[in-house]
Amino acid sequence: MATVTFVEYDGTSHDVDLVEGESLMELATGNAVPGIDGDCGGDAACGTCHVIVDDEWISSTGRRSDAESQMLDMSSECESNSRLACQVKASASLDGLKVRLPEYQM
């Protein structure tokens, strides 16, 4: 089974099975990963599913849209590889993906 690893700010890792077509936010909230709230339900309107994609995976997950950038730019913890987990769709090609969580969500 393909998996993605969510790493909390304190270093605690959570391996979650990928479900093709679900967003990373749906995977995280469906598996009770602490630190991913998804308050807006995946509309890229709240910033509570902020993740930081490891450098080696950014080409596989894609670049953020302008709307996603506007939301993330409000976070003091925004990095060049920051994404909203609700905007990254899971696929088999993301097997082994690792994302870090910021200390605080918006």
**pLDDT, tens digit, for every residue of 73-91?**
999 999 999 999 999 999 9
Mean pLDDT across the chain: 95
Over residues 19-33, the pLDDT tens digits come to 999 999 999 999 999
Q: What is the DSSP code (8-state) at residue 4?
A: E
Region of 72 (left: φ > 0; alpha: ψ -120 to 50; beta: rest) is alpha
Using DSSP bridges, classify how beta strands 97-100 and 82-84 pair: parallel, antiparallel or unpaired.
Answer: unpaired
Domains and CATH numbers, the chain: 3-100 (3.10.20.30)
| Confidence bin at 70 (pLDDT 50/70/90) | very high
